[in-house]
Structure 1
Amino acid sequence: MRAVRLQAVGRIELAEVPDPVPAFGEILVRVEAAGICGTDRHLYKGEFPCAPPVTLGHEFAGEIVGCGPGVALDLGTRVACDPNIACGGCEQCLRGRTNLCLRNVAVGIHRDGGFADLVAFPAHRAVPVPGLHPHHAAFAEPLACTLHGVDMGAPVPGERVIVLGGGVIGLLAVQLARNAGAEVTLVTRHPAKRELALQVGATHTAATEDEARALLPKGADLVLECAGVAETVEMAPRLTRSGGRVVVLGVLPQGETVRIEPFDLLFREIQLLHSFINPFTQTRAAAMLATGRVNVAPLISRIIPLSEAAATIANPAAAGEVKVLVVPG
């Protein structure tokens, strides 16, 4: 079969590899759609820890075509992969913080993932998504991660929320905050993404910090940082009202630092929180996609074949691009 393999930092290629064989407790899935994530580009550049050589792809959905010993799931069932495999026995798992598992193994990062014709992974990490289009089912993982961050920020009706960054996480966060009853302003320099934000539920948009401040002179109750760049992480507290909250969902390169003024956070009692992956939120995400509470169709910028995935990951995202889906087909 074909697979997009990260052979080493800075080296990614489409390769022919043996078909995977599901082990005990695993299923074999024919991949129907897989999303390219900013983390994939961080992995390619060596900015996020992984275990090459490895087949990338942690946002994917497909059809069960085989089961290993100990599994009795119906062949033909469409599933979305929850890629994080917690050990269940470390101190973090035992206190319910499975996203902080000391021995977490992530599909598409530490073991072979979904940029391939076929993938094997544990059956208990498969979320059934019957009736959901595979292009939409592939959004279950990024939506689950966004849900965790918005849960931490806990917006309530009538609050004002600023979302920094118009990528897929930012545009999903816009919809979740609006679903919670908040007014939402998206801040991004890209005109097409501002237009898209209005389409999916933003109340206002702004291109710059100054424009956002003009809209909300006292600041927002909650700021969701979804861009993953130092500029917006530093901007987030400045756009937060006294007594407000900041949740950082964006992923900065490992080792990068930002400038924060602790006195300002102290004097205005700003909560500065960070959100990591998707503990116990994947099933909720799949249900939201199935019922249409979150609209992902407008977020699909391009659909490409597996043969173009390596080059797409190795190069920066095109201006205005939100989500590129890989369809092995």
Structure 2
Amino acid sequence: MHATRLFATGDIRTVDVPVPTPGPGEVLVRVLAAGICGTDRHLFKGEFPCAPPVTLGHEFSGEVVALGEGVTLPLGTRIACDPNIACGTCEACLRGRVNLCARNVAIGIHRDGGFADYAVIPAHRALPVGDLDPRIAAFAEPLACTLHGIDLGAPRPGERVLVIGGGVIGLLAVQLARNAGAEVTLLTRDRGKRDLARQVGATHTAATEAEARATLGPGADLVVECAGVVQTVEMAPRLTRAGGRVVVLGVLPKGEQVSIEPFDLLFREISLLHSFINPFTQSRAIQLLCDGRVDVAPLISRVIRLADAPAAIVNPALPGEVKVLVIPD
């Protein structure tokens, strides 16, 4: 079979490898669709810890085609992979904070993932999706991560929410905040993404900080930072009203630092929160996709083959691009 593997920082290739065999408690999944994530680019550049050589791909859907010992999941079940495998015994896990597990193993980062014809994953990380289109089901993981961030920010009906960043996480955050009854503004320089944001539910859009400030007046009750760059993280508190909240969902490279004025956060009592992966949210994400309450079809920018996956990861996203899906051959 073919697999797109990271061999070392700066070395990613699609190669021929044997079809894996599921062990006890595992399933073999025929991958039907896998999304390229910004984290995959961080992994390629060595900006996010991983365990090469490893097949990348942590956002994927597929069909169960073989079972390891002790697994009762029916053959043919369509699933979405929940990629994070918590140990269940560390201090964080025992507090229910499984996303902070000291020994978390992430599929597609620490063990082989979904940029392949087939993938072996623990059966308990294979969540059934019914007859959901596999391309839609591949969004379950990024939607689950966005859900966790929105849970932390807790937008309420009638509040003003500002989403910074027009990538897939930002456009998912727009929809979740609207579903919560908030008035939502998306801030991004990309005109096409501003148009797309209005299509999926944004009340307002802005191209610059000044435009956002003109729309928000005293500021947003909740700012959700989804761009993952220094400038937008520093901008977020400035666009938050007194007593408001900031949730950082964007991933900055390891070691990157930002400048924040603690006195300003203190004097205006701004809550600055960070959101990491998807604790107990992926089943909810799947249900939202099945119910059609979050529309991800407009976010699919292009579909590529495994052979083209390395170039899509190595090179910057194309102008206006939101989500690239890899469909195995």
Name the SS of the counterpart of 2:173 in structure 1.
helix
CA–CA separation in structure 1 for the residues paired with 2:37 and 2:193: 17
- Runs of 4+ in structure 1 off by over 4 angstroms are none
Q: How does 1:1-329 map to 2 (within 5 A)?
A: 1-329=1-329
Report how far residue 103 of structure 1 moved: 0.2
CA–CA separation in structure 1 for the residues paired with 2:21 and 2:311: 28
Name the SS of the counterpart of 2:256 in structure 1.
coil
CA–CA separation in structure 1 for the residues paired with 2:311 and 2:15: 13
Match of 2:47, as an amino acid? E
Report how far residue 8 of structure 1 moved: 0.2
Name the SS of the counterpart of 1:173 in structure 2.
helix
Name stretches of at least 5 consecutive residues in structure 1 with no aligned partner.
Answer: none
The alignment-based identity, stated in percent, is 76
For 1:138-175, what per-residue CA distance to the aligned partner results, in whole angstroms no more than 9, with x for missing partners? 00000000000000000000000000000000000000
CA–CA separation in structure 1 for the residues paired with 2:129 and 2:95: 29
CA–CA separation in structure 1 for the residues paired with 2:312 and 2:244: 38
CA–CA separation in structure 2 for the residues paired with 1:103 and 1:41: 23
Report how far residue 287 of structure 1 moved: 0.3
Match of 2:155, as an amino acid? P
Name the SS of the counterpart of 2:121 in structure 1.
strand
Report how far residue 73 of structure 1 moved: 1.1
CA RMSD in angstroms, aligned pairs only? 0.4
Match of 1:119, as an amino acid? A
Name the SS of the counterpart of 2:30 in structure 1.
strand
Report how far residue 131 of structure 1 moved: 1.0
CA–CA separation in structure 2 for the residues paired with 1:275 and 1:165: 15
Name the SS of the counterpart of 1:31 in structure 2.
strand
CA–CA separation in structure 1 for the residues paired with 2:242 and 2:61: 42
Match of 2:99, as an amino acid? N
Name the SS of the counterpart of 1:290 in structure 2.
helix
Name the SS of the counterpart of 1:174 in structure 2.
helix
What TM-score comes out, normalization by structure 1 length?
1.00
Report how far residue 319 of structure 1 moved: 1.1
For 1:68-115, what per-residue CA distance to the aligned partner results, in whole angstroms no more than 9, with x for missing partners? 001011111100000000000000000000000000000000000000
Name the SS of the counterpart of 1:121 in structure 2.
strand
Name stretches of at least 5 consecutive residues in structure 2 with no aligned partner.
Answer: none
Name the SS of the counterpart of 1:113 in structure 2.
coil
Report how far residue 192 of structure 1 moved: 0.2
CA–CA separation in structure 2 for the residues paired with 1:23 and 1:271: 45
CA–CA separation in structure 2 for the residues paired with 1:218 and 1:33: 43
Report how far residue 209 of structure 1 moved: 0.3
For 1:124-149, what per-residue CA distance to the aligned partner results, in whole angstroms no more than 9, with x for missing partners? 01110011000000000000000000
Match of 1:268, as an amino acid? R
Report how far residue 196 of structure 1 moved: 0.1
For 1:11-35, what per-residue CA distance to the aligned partner results, in whole angstroms no more than 9, with x for missing partners? 0000111111101100000000000
Match of 2:143, as an amino acid? L
What TM-score comes out, normalization by structure 2 length?
1.00
CA–CA separation in structure 1 for the residues paired with 2:155 and 2:127: 27
CA–CA separation in structure 1 for the residues paired with 2:213 and 2:156: 21
CA–CA separation in structure 1 for the residues paired with 2:9 and 2:182: 42
Name the SS of the counterpart of 1:202 in structure 2.
coil
For 1:200-244, what per-residue CA distance to the aligned partner results, in whole angstroms no more than 9, with x for missing partners? 000000000000000012000000000000010000000000000
CA–CA separation in structure 1 for the residues paired with 2:283 and 2:27: 18
Name the SS of the counterpart of 2:264 in structure 1.
helix
